[in-house]
Amino acid sequence: MAQQALVTADQQREAVPEPVIRVRGLRNQFGTQVVHDNLDLDVRKGEVLGVVGGSGSGKSVLLRTIIGLRRQQAGTVEIMGRDTSKLTERDAKDLRAQWGVLFQDGALFSSLSVAENIQVPLKEYTKLSRRLMDEVTRVKIVMTGLPADAAVKFPSELSGGMRKRAGLARALALDPNILFLDEPTAGLDPIGAANFDQLIGTLQQSLGLTVFMVTHDLDSLIAICDRIAVLIDKKIVVGTIKELLKLDHPWIQEYFRGPRARAAFGE
Amino acid sequence: MAVAEQGLLDIRRGEGQWVVVATGVWDISTLPSLDDAVRKIAPDRGDKVRIDMSGIDKLDSAGAWVLFRLRQRLQDEGYDADVEGLRPEHAGLFANISSAKDVPELQKAKFRPVLHMLEHVGRRTFQMASEARDLLSFFGEICFAVAYVLTHPRRIKLVPVINQMEQVGLNALPIVGLLAFLIGVVLAFQGADQLARFGAEIYTVNLLGVSFLREIGILITSIIIAGRSGSAFTAQIGTMKVNEEIDAMSALGLSPIQLLVLPRLLALILVLPLLGFYADIMGLIGGAIMSMFVLDISVARFIEQLNGALSMWTFWIGIIKAPFFAFVIAMIGCFNGLKVAGSAESVGMMTTKAVVQAIFLVIVLDAVFSILFSYLKI
């Protein structure tokens, strides 16, 4: 039965031309501990993919491998058709301008104000005039729902939710095609988390983003994810929630049928 | 992508109509060349203005902003400025950024040098005053903690003290020894050079012995330890502060002063006199070796001369100062560590501050001791 669902996912995959991210035969290990083994994953253009898995199943490692912070032991990662391990320094830089990353706690540069944080990628990658750059910065601040006075504040003066929004504003500075989010709603209160979900949903639709989101938040999985990738047994199973529910792997069943999941589904 | 990666701005005029036609790619890469042209658009009075966006292939939020700003400006100037041909997938962008116009300009305070300087001086003065007060209150807290620990001897935790003694004392032996040795060598060489002019080479030994034992040995050691361990105290405690470990301690009813400050303080007070003594010996060895080579003074002669030059007090004057220096270094280090706030940058700033303050205070204290000793005629 598991096999069957995977096949349907594969068939769907063929209908879509070129995936934005294509991972093949990925192997990651720390010492003798293998985290990923022969892992395949496709992320389609314009979708929101939620990545879930138990603690230590290598969700963040996968994200770090895809964005090139970690070199895999085997396998390939292709982003927009380009193998990330075979890029020249310059091509790699161009590619990095195509994606934005929101780290878990925002990872803002603590010595820079929010506005300056947003301007770091703008200064590095664009030739905007001073005036237009300030305007674009303001646009990003508004887009991510930060209050106007946040621009001149420093990261240590912001609340956790605002730091995430500021991190998102920096990730979106260049209007990337792909957005990587590492647990975007962790540590936010339910209202803040729901707002953040909504924000990502709207931005994704209006900017046509492809979103790769590591999360544990069942509500956001249901609210904004088109498909869900489950990391189990060093591999990945992808599907919509309905498809995943048909699989009888114990972890998946427990995850999507547990009391919290039932509450999230509104059953 | 068949279209060239280029954005175009075209203005068609005629019969009381202005049509601003935007085509191609309007994103952050093409905007630098488009922005000025957009800003310069100034239609004739009374004309009807339209913005035609049907030819836009790619639009990002920055591009949308530039066009939105244009429409806003034209409307404020009293034109209709209708937008045409907006693609449905781009509509969301406009909805998203429409409130950006309400965000005030990113404030850049005008630079006024004199005012700035005055403000800076004033702020620093207040800062220094409040810092001095905080330091005094920290000194008070330490005194209370010491009193508490003395009345509750079971509260004394020996393991952290010994651990700190190893880190600040034992591990510092190589660097302290090497530097003291080298300074002994240099001092002997320079002294010999000068004293040889009036045939008093043998007094190099006196110079070396007195200056090393009274001042240089302990001063060098204190400065090295301020740089090595004072900074470490600040960085360790500061990082714990950033990680909220200090708050966790307080929440558990543990006293950071007792658990973090006192062991470091006690360890340094115990260890610094020993290090100072060790530096004295190493400096004298350096001087003796140098005297042997340059002045042909044998080791036996060196010791004999030294014996005549020094009294027990020469030695004690140096060593007496050590616990006081140790107290200052440890207190300043811990104080600045506890003052760390918020960020990693703050840890670095406070560490620098701790080292500078500790070295400064050590030298000031040394001067105070000199005056005191000269009054006491020692």
Q: Is A264 on the interface with B (CB under 8 A)?
A: no
DSSP, collapsed to helix, strand or coil, labels residue A77 as strand
pLDDT at position B106, please? 65
CB B96 to CB A129 under 8 A? no
CB B35 to CB A203 under 8 A? no
Distance from CA of B75 to the nearest CA of A (A): 19
pLDDT one-digit tens code per residue, B119-154: 999 999 999 999 999 999 999 999 999 999 889 888
d(Cα B235, Cα B240) in Å, to the nearest integer?
8
Higher pLDDT, residue B372 or A80 = B372
Q: Is A105 on the interface with B (CB under 8 A)?
A: no
Alpha-carbon Rg for chain B, nearest whole angstrom, is: 36
Q: Is A134 on the interface with B (CB under 8 A)?
A: yes
Extents of the domains making up chain A:
2-98+176-265, 103-173
d(Cα A242, Cα A246) in Å, to the nearest integer?
7
Residue B103 has pLDDT above 70, yes or no: no
Residue A76 has pLDDT above 90, yes or no: no
pLDDT one-digit tens code per residue, A101-135: 888 877 888 888 898 899 888 888 888 888 888 88
Contact A214, A200 (CB under 8 A): no
Partner residue facing A136 (CB), from B65, B91, B345: B65
CB A143 to CB B344 under 8 A? no
Partner residue facing B62 (CB), from A127, A148, A175: A175
Lowest mean pLDDT among B84-93, B170-179, B223-232, B253-262: B84-93
Contact A96, A180 (CB under 8 A): no
Q: Which of A137-151, A240-254, B179-193: highest mean pLDDT? A: B179-193
3.40.30.10, 3.10.450.50, 3.30.70.20, 3.40.50.300: CATH of A2-98+176-265: 3.40.50.300
Q: Is A136 on the interface with B (CB under 8 A)?
A: yes
Residue A29 has pLDDT above 80, yes or no: yes
List CB contacts (< 8 A) between B29 and chain A.
Answer: 126
pLDDT at position A130, please? 84
Q: Is A166 on the interface with B (CB under 8 A)?
A: no
Torsion region of A75: left, alpha or beta (phi above 0 gives left; psi -120 to 50 gives alpha) = left
CB A152 to CB B93 under 8 A? no
pLDDT at position B109, please? 63
Residue B90 has pLDDT above 80, yes or no: no
pLDDT one-digit tens code per residue, B312-355: 888 999 999 999 999 999 999 999 999 998 777 889 999 999 99
Distance from CA of B31 to the nearest CA of A (A): 7
Distance from CA of B336 to the nearest CA of A (A): 18
pLDDT at position B326, please? 96
What backbone phi and psi angles, to 5 degrees, belong to A106?
Answer: 90, -40
Contacts (Cβ under 8 Å, ≥6 apart) of B351: B231, B234, B235, B238, B336
Distance from CA of A233 to the nearest CA of B (A): 34
Distance from CA of A186 to the nearest CA of B (A): 18
Distance from CA of A105 to the nearest CA of B (A): 13
- A123: its two tokens: 């200064």
pLDDT at position B264, please? 94
d(Cα A191, Cα B197) in Å, to the nearest integer?
85
d(Cα A25, Cα A83) in Å, to the nearest integer?
13
Q: Is A11 on the interface with B (CB under 8 A)?
A: no
DSSP B107: P
User: Number of C-alpha atoms within 13 angstroms, CB side, residue B39?
Assistant: 10
C-alpha to C-alpha distances, B40 to A123, B36, B45, nearest whole angstrom: 24, 6, 15
DSSP B261: I
Distance from CA of B343 to the nearest CA of A (A): 6
pLDDT one-digit tens code per residue, A168-209: 889 888 888 889 988 888 877 888 788 888 888 877 877 778
Partner residue facing B343 (CB), from A136, A143, A156: A156
- A21-30 vs A178-182, strand pairing mode: unpaired
B7-101, what's its fold?
Transcription Regulator spoIIAA (3.30.750)
Partner residue facing B104 (CB), from A129, A148, A172: A148
CB A136 to CB B28 under 8 A? yes
Share of chain A above pLDDT 70, in %: 93
pLDDT band of B263, cuts 50, 70, 90: very high
Residue B2 has pLDDT above 50, yes or no: no
pLDDT at position B224, please? 95
Q: Is A2 on the interface with B (CB under 8 A)?
A: no
Distance from CA of B56 to the nearest CA of A (A): 14
Q: Is B65 on the interface with A (CB under 8 A)?
A: yes
Average pLDDT over residues B41-50: 78
pLDDT band of B249, cuts 50, 70, 90: confident
CB A132 to CB B35 under 8 A? yes
pLDDT at position B362, please? 96
- B356: its two tokens: 């500078």
Q: Is A132 on the interface with B (CB under 8 A)?
A: yes
Contact A244, A252 (CB under 8 A): yes
Q: State chain B's mean pLDDT as an integer.
A: 87
What backbone phi and psi angles, to 5 degrees, belong to B17?
Answer: -125, 140
Edge to edge, the sheet with strand B17-26 lists B7-14, B17-26, B48-59, B82-84
- A interface test, pick of B102, B103, B350 with most A CB neighbours within 10 Å: B103
Q: Is B96 on the interface with A (CB under 8 A)?
A: yes
Partner residue facing B345 (CB), from A110, A132, A148: A110
Extents of the domains making up chain B:
7-101, 134-376
Partner residue facing B93 (CB), from A151, A152, A206: A206
List CB contacts (< 8 A) between B102 and chain A.
Answer: 142, 148
- B218: its two tokens: 């302990």
List CB contacts (< 8 A) between A152 and chain B.
Answer: 106-107
- B interface test, pick of A110, A124, A139, A157 with most B CB neighbours within 10 Å: A139
DSSP annotation string for A221-239: HHHH-SEEEEEETTEEEEE
d(Cα B317, Cα B213) in Å, to the nearest integer?
8
List CB contacts (< 8 A) between A127 and chain B.
Answer: 32
CB A126 to CB B28 under 8 A? yes
Distance from CA of A42 to the nearest CA of B (A): 22
CB B89 to CB A208 under 8 A? yes
- State the Cα torsion B242-A215-A29-A25 to the nearest 10°: -150
Partner residue facing A174 (CB), from B28, B69, B106: B28
d(Cα A111, Cα A93) in Å, to the nearest integer?
24
List CB contacts (< 8 A) between B25 and chain A.
Answer: none
- State the Cα torsion A197-A203-A206-A212 to the nearest 10°: -80
Contact A148, A159 (CB under 8 A): no
